[in-house]
A and B are shown apart, each in its own frame.
Chain A
Amino acid sequence: MKMSVVVRTTTKMVSPFLVTYAAYLMLYGHLSPGGGFQGGVILAVAVILLITSHGYRKVRRRFHFNWASLIESSAGAMLVLLGLAGLAFGAFYSNFLPTEGGIILPFNVIVGLEVGAGFTFVFYILLRWVESD
């Protein structure tokens, strides 16, 4: 399902900005409105936009199906490990980093990766049924 030149060019231009914006939301989630989930959704939207405009086959070559699965599961594991790391400092998920916001920053980044990869993964799986590129 390849779309017209206008749509394809626009998506190509918008996508990098979307990824930047997602990174901003994740990295500044503890200071300003935003956070991991929102950043992750926007991250996924960047990929999903590319898929809808350029077609599944072409995008899949760059963002492989297994990558999404890999990032998703390793981010999930890291999320639990972050909580377990807090154990050394007293409690599960204790806020042990001395930086501003503590573990909220790494937490947001991991959640962003998890959500972004998860949504992309779900979209890939749903596309399997309409694979009429």
Chain B
Amino acid sequence: MIPIPVAIALLCAFLLVLLDTLRVREAVLKGVFLIGALLPAPVFLFVGVGSEVVGGWPREAGIEVAVTRLNMPFLVGEIVLFAFVAFYSLAYFNLKDGKTRKVLALLLLLHAGLMGAFVARDLFNFYIYMEIASVSAFSLVAFSDEKGAKRAAFKYLMLSLLASYLFVFAVGLVYMETGYLNVGLITENARDSRELQVALGVALSALVLKAGIFPLHGWLPDAHSKAPTPVSALLSGAVVKAPAYGMILLLPALPAGEPLRLALLAVAVVSIFFGIAMALLQKDAKRLLAYHTVSQMGYVLLGIASLNFLGAAYYAMAHSIFKGGLFLGIGSMGRKSRELGTFGYRGDAVMMASVIALSLAIGGVSPLIGAYGKGLIYSNLSWPWKLAVPLGSVGTLVSFTKLNSYLAMGRGVKLPASWKLPVLGLALTALAGGLYLGLGLNPKDLLYLSAAFLIFQLLKRAGVFEKSPSPGGGEVGEEVNRLTAVMVAFILLLTLIQGV
């Protein structure tokens, strides 16, 4: 029964293209889209936790799918975010235009791909569904009319495909060594060997690239900021989570030594602070949020590298909800110009409350959902690494103090309710989710908040926010080459470090 939700989304995507070709009325298309977007959630509830093999084949031959404690948070985050994004995109995209109607089908393919990747217990099947999601993501980024969107999509395409091919190569190596693609069977049959070390190194670097974590994040700020707003929310909220889930599948299955985990921890910590530092310097609001994705995926990797998969999963879920909400909120307010200071939420109480709540959530302030995952990740780290979590929280809060201070200055434009409600809904979900997971007020957060405010004032005095790094430019091929070289160096690092 577990594959049914994925099948529903896929079926609705195909039906949308079919009905669009037959030139059916717009209302029907919207109905089919909403069915595909919303129906999987109750079906998942109905199916419940469990594991099965598609088609009733034996486990060695078939494709195993499962809903477990580990992938449930990923699924919940994706489904909740997609529901709100679905309503938002119906209002956002102009469906009168024949070209734009295809966007709904692509969104559903993205939905199906992500759900399929999250239920997979089989490396190849995981790869296929992650690819379905990625390919729809490239085309959705290219859908934007903005200047530079095609370029961003091309860069994303090249790097992501490079990572995919390397990942499938690594899956091939694992298959060659163990004879299985099923994660459970690989775990039972994997013996430490050179080939498996190489496979683990290559596959992990491919997933790190796709998740947009620090040294390999080069494609992310462009792709996430240039995409249409609902797509940005999905990209940052859900698409980068699929590779994170892939790491959760891979790491326990293959023999990974201590040096590799230490290297991943270091990468995660650097990613957290690099993302914050770059975000502090951004003038473009969506680019600021995109750099925060680099930083937040660092936390997820921190959880994964410390083998605290549950913490990583819960933080990924929280990130889906608040980052999606932030992108929708900032994107709809800054539709005309995303330059900080030219727009804001003054005079719009709903938007103000939602964005502030979501900003507190991303900073890990307590009754909101971000704190739960952060607490789980924090509790499982050894001493020097532990520090990264509170310091990162303060840094994130500084950056969001900056964002909110600019937003509070700008006058709000009148927004339609269909744009505001999804943002409000996600903010309320962040609160409700936190309360559901049993969070209360934490006095320590007040300390973090005041520290963040203090640092913000100091940085403002020092004039840090006036500086802004140039967004790059030049030949796109040259940029891809440079990022590929970094990728190769990273693969070598992860592969060689295991031999120590």
A: residues with CB less than 8 A from B are 66, 69-70, 72-74, 76-77, 79-81, 83-84, 86-87, 90-95
B residues 2-48 near A (Cβ < 8 Å) are 3-4, 7, 10-11, 13-15, 17-18, 21-22
In the assembled complex, 5 residue pairs joining A and B whose CB atoms fall closer than 8 Å, in A order, are A74-B14, A80-B7, A92-B7, A92-B54, A95-B56
Q: List A contacts of B55 (CB < 8 A).
A: 86, 91-95
Contact of B18 among A77, A90, A92 (CB under 8 A): A77
Asked whether, in the complex, the Cβ of B11 is within 8 Å of the Cβ of A81, the reply is yes
CB distance B54 to A93 under 8 Å?
yes
Shortest beta-carbon distance, B157 to chain A, in Å?
15
Closest to B23 in A: A66
Residues of A within 8 A of B1 (CB): 87, 92
B52 sits at the interface (CB 8 A): yes
Interface pair B54/A80, CB less than 8 Å apart: no
B103 to chain A: closest CB distance in Å? 15
CB < 8 Å neighbour of A66 from B21, B53, B56: B21
* CB atoms of A83 and B17 under 8 A apart: no
Give chain B residues whose Cβ lies under 8 Å from the Cβ of A69. Answer: 17, 21
Count of chain A to chain B residue pairs whose CB atoms are closer than 8 Å in the complex: 55
Is A92 in contact with B21, judged by CB distance below 8 angstroms? no
Task: Please report the total number of B residues contacting A with Cβ < 8 Å.
Answer: 18
Per the bound structure, the CA–CA distance linking A92 and B11 in Å amounts to: 14
> What residues of A have a CB within 8 angstroms of the CB of B22 in the complex?
70
- When the two chains form their complex, are residues B10 and A80 in contact, meaning their CB atoms are under 8 A apart? yes
Q: Which A residues touch B15, using CB under 8 A?
A: 73, 77
Contact bitstring B197-226, A, C-beta under 8 A = 1, else 0: 000000000000000000000000000000
- Complex contacts, A73 vs chain B, CB 8 Å: 14-15, 17-18, 21
Q: Quick one: closest B residue to A91, CB to CB?
A: B56
User: In the complex, A91→B13 CA distance in Å?
Assistant: 22
A39 to B497, CA, bound (A): 46
**Would you give the shortest CB distance from B350 to chain A, in whole angstroms?**
39
Known: A92-B4, A93-B55, A94-B56. A77 touches B14 (CB 8 A): yes
Contact with A along B393-430 (1 / 0, CB 8 A): 00000000000000000000000000000000000000
Most chain-B CB neighbours within 10 Å: which of A70, A83, A92?
A92
Nearest chain A CB to B11 CB, angstrom units: 4
B338 to chain A, nearest CB (A): 31
The residue in chain B whose Cβ has the minimal distance to the Cβ of A72 is: B17
Which A residues are CB-close (under 8 A) to B4?
84, 87, 92
